[in-house]
Amino acid sequence: MLGIALYSFWMERYRSVTRYGAVSMERKSTDEKSGRHPSGAAVMRTDLTHALIQAFFEDWAAYGYGGISLERVATRAGAGKAAIYRRWPSKLALASEAIDDLGLKLTDVSERGSLLEELEAYLLMMRRALRHRLVRRILPDLYAEAARESELAIALTRLAASRRTAGTALIERAIARRELNANVDVEMALDMIPSALYWRIIVTKRKISRAQIERQAKALNAAIKLL
């Protein structure tokens, strides 16, 4: 499911930026301040890079992808627009990198002892992501962009593929443990795993408790074994 990814990973990665607020523009090197020519290329500040990506998602949530203003993004991050173009040549390049990184963060469910345990871990990861205020606002726009075959199509396809690859690995581990038959319908299983949670949190905007996550994992565990 596109964007399921959208990220506890974001928030873990950029938490320090949001905690302390926008950062200042990239400082000139000591050599520049003293009037001497710098001896090497300027080093990109990672805190400013993180602040710019966070500001990009904030702007996306507020205005939709089509309404994103890179000038406004820079202002949100406390930087100049040039700071963006030193890192990315375009809005699409920035969005593509952010989405790719997001996919890596959201598809990492490490091996556990059973299919049930891995399903529960996957659902908990999804819940963390889907409950975030930015995720709830950006996901519908991501689906809209996918439907209209926008310039983001390639990045969104890679994001979906990353999630499916991680889900397939989860199913294959269960097959190796002999919890599932080798001929299990993997595609249907991958469709089933995130669907109910997405519907509850994003579509109907209801909360889901840890106990409900555990029950949902048990239901999925039983259902997948019938495929």
Length of the chain (residues) = 227
**CATH number where 83 lies:** 1.10.10.60
Confirm whether 50 is domain-assigned: yes
Confirm whether 35 is domain-assigned: no
Residues 94 and 113 in one domain: no
Contact 59, 73 (CB under 8 A): yes
What is the model's pLDDT at position 38? 45
What is the model's pLDDT at position 175? 94
Residues 89 and 123 in one domain: no
Q: What is the mean pLDDT of residues 68-79?
A: 92
pLDDT tier at 108, thresholds 50, 70, 90: low
For the chain, give the percent of residues with pLDDT over 90: 32
More confident residue, 122 or 31: 122
- The yes-or-no verdict on residue 95 having pLDDT over 70 is yes
- The yes-or-no verdict on residue 59 having pLDDT over 70 is yes
Residues 83 and 137 in one domain: no
Measured from the Cβ of residue 37, the count of other Cβ atoms closer than 10 Å reads 7
- The yes-or-no verdict on residue 2 having pLDDT over 70 is no
**CATH number where 137 lies:** 1.10.357.10
Residues 137 and 215 in one domain: yes
- The yes-or-no verdict on residue 120 having pLDDT over 50 is yes
- The yes-or-no verdict on residue 151 having pLDDT over 80 is no
Confirm whether 175 is domain-assigned: yes
Contact 1, 162 (CB under 8 A): no
Residues 117 and 156 in one domain: yes
78 Cβ neighbours under 8 A, 6+ residues apart: 21, 22, 23, 24, 25, 51
Residues 117 and 96 in one domain: no
- The yes-or-no verdict on residue 23 having pLDDT over 50 is no
Q: Which residue segment(s) compose the domain that 16 sits in?
A: 8-25+44-100
Residues 161 and 55 in one domain: no
- The yes-or-no verdict on residue 186 having pLDDT over 90 is yes
Of 93-97, 169-173, 200-204, give the range with the top mean pLDDT. 169-173
Confirm whether 184 is domain-assigned: yes
- Tell me what the pLDDT averaged over the chain comes to: 77
pLDDT tier at 113, thresholds 50, 70, 90: confident
Separation CA 32–CA 20 (nearest Å): 27
Residues 161 and 217 in one domain: yes
Confirm whether 52 is domain-assigned: yes
pLDDT tier at 35, thresholds 50, 70, 90: very low
- The yes-or-no verdict on residue 29 having pLDDT over 70 is no
Domain count, the chain: 2
More confident residue, 212 or 149: 212
What is the model's pLDDT at position 45? 80
198 Cβ neighbours under 8 A, 6+ residues apart: 1, 4, 126, 130
Confirm whether 38 is domain-assigned: no
Q: Which of 64-78, 131-145, 159-173 has the lowest mean pLDDT?
A: 131-145
Q: Which of 60, 75, 100 is the last residue of a domain?
A: 100
Residues 80 and 187 in one domain: no
What is the model's pLDDT at position 129? 79
Confirm whether 16 is domain-assigned: yes
